[in-house]
Each structure stands twice: as C-alpha cells, then as structure tokens.
Amino acid sequence: NAGVTQTPKFQVLKTGQSMTLQCAQDMNHEYMSWYRQDPGMGLRLIHYSVGAGITDQGEVPNGYNVSRSTTEDFPLRLLSAAPSQTSVYFCASSYLSAGTEAFFGQGTRLTVV
Amino acid sequence: AQSVTQLDSQVPVFEEAPVELRCNYSSSVSVYLFWYVQYPNQGLQLLLKYLSGSTLVKGINGFEAEFNKSQTSFHLRKPSVHISDTAEYFCASTGTASKLTFGTGTRLQVTL
C-alpha cells in the first residue's frame, strides 16, 4: 500500500533551471494538491486538482505549473527556478468531499542556488 | 474565507506533563477542523478531526481536542506527553470543499 509517493526526496537547482516534482497516489482519490512549507508560515497551497483534466490555483501559484492527465499523477513544474522557491514541497490527496482525511507524501526538499 | 491561527510557535514541556496546543479558526460557513502531526523529516499524518456531533474528539496517541463554537477554538490536549511526541503540530480547516487551510504550526519539544 504505497499511498502518496513523491520523487525526488532532495533536489538542488541552479537559478533559472526547470524541473518537475512527481506525485503519484494509488488510492483513487479525486482531489490532489501541492503545498510548500516554509519556516513560520505553515503549509501554503500552490495548486490543486479535483479530477483528471481539472486544475486550479491556490494561494501561491506564481512560478509553478501543474497538469492532471490521470487520476493517479499530479506533477508540479518549476518553470524557471528562483531562490525564493527554496522550500519543502508536499503533495497530498483525498476523496472529494469536505471532512475527509488528506494523505501526504514524504516531501521534496528543494534548494535553489 | 477561512483562516486558522495557532497562537504558539513553540511549546516546551517536560515528559509526563500535560500539554495544550491552541488553535482558533474563523469561518463564515460550516467548518471541519483537523489536527495533523509532522515528525522530523516526514510528511503530515492525521491526529484527529471534528466534523459534527460530540465536541470532544479523541485521536491517535492519546491526543484529544475540544471544539468550542462560541470561542471559535479547537485546542489540542494530551494529559501526559512522551519524548516521542516531539513534533510539529498543525491545525487545519476545510469548508464545504476539500481545500485545507493550515495554521502556521506549533513545535512541541518534550524534554526529560
């Protein structure tokens, strides 16, 4: 039972480089989301999806892109990395109804130099 | 719009002492409330949640929380903490959709 799998666990990028953070879930959850965690700021929503082909912006979407071609996968793309995107990124999934438990991946620690 | 406030960024406590982590929420609509725990270098996992009904909610690892509508609070408590409870704790809410709004987190540091 894999749950939510994120890859890679660690990544160092140079300013201006692009990369994709992968997220996959095997629970057939409709709702998937990406958060970034920064000290003293909690988790802030970047983008979310309520099903295949449907995505929307969260609180801090600038500099990030997402797509949802399948129920299982929800990759997050950094188009041109900046030092301000140094953070820990978490992917989460849940059923599409209020009050259900969200399941989180182990996180990706990204450093942009 | 919903918001969640965690009043304490850090709470130091001795082992076997009681602890309360405070959380206040604001919402103009029905709200569902959660506490998640994050152990070092791990993702978040659910401790407990309040949807409706009894205002005292029991969770895993001996934690409980009380929903107080008049004070818009959802404080987390444990009568006797253990070293292994050292972690960061997040209060969160959702409205009628699945989108979680998190507080800024409280770091619980348990020492001998």
State the pLDDT at residue A53: 94
Q: Is the Cβ of B3 closer than 8 Å to some Cβ of chain A?
A: no
Residue A45 is nearest to which of B32, B99, B104, comparing CB atoms? B99
Among B6, B26, B5, B32, which residue's Cα sits nearest to residue B95?
B32
Which of A109, A60, A105 minimizes the C-alpha distance to A86? A109
Nearest to B37 by CA among B101, B89, B108, B91: B89
* Identity of the residue numbered B106: T
The CA-atom distances, in angstroms, between A56 and each of A15, A31, B13, B80 are 26, 11, 41, 43
pLDDT of residue A99: 84
Q: What is the pLDDT of residues A43-99, one digit of tens each?
A: 999 999 999 999 999 999 999 999 999 999 999 999 999 999 999 999 999 998 878
Residues of chain A positioned with their CB less than 8 A from the CB of B97? 98
Question: How large is the C-alpha radius of gyration of chain B?
Answer: 13
Contact check, Cβ <8 Å, A48/B46 = no
pLDDT single digits (tens) A16-51: 999 999 999 999 999 999 999 999 899 999 999 999
Interface of A with B in 83-102 (CB under 8 A): 90, 92, 94-102
By C-alpha distance, the chain B residue nearest A37 is B104
Cβ atoms B45, B11 nearer than 8 A: no
Nearest by Cα to B10 from B94, B111, B92: B111
**What pLDDT is recorded for position A1?**
64
CA–CA min distance B92, chain A (Å): 10
The reply to whether residue A97 touches residue B49, judged by beta carbons under 8 angstroms, is no
Q: What pLDDT is attached to residue A6?
A: 97
Mutate to test the interface with A, among B2, B6, B38, B99 (most CBs of A within 10 A): B99
Residue A2 has pLDDT above 80, yes or no: no
Question: Tens digit of pLDDT per residue, chain B (112 long)?
Answer: 778 999 999 999 999 999 999 999 987 667 899 999 999 988 999 999 999 888 999 999 999 999 999 999 999 999 999 999 999 999 999 877 788 999 999 999 999 9
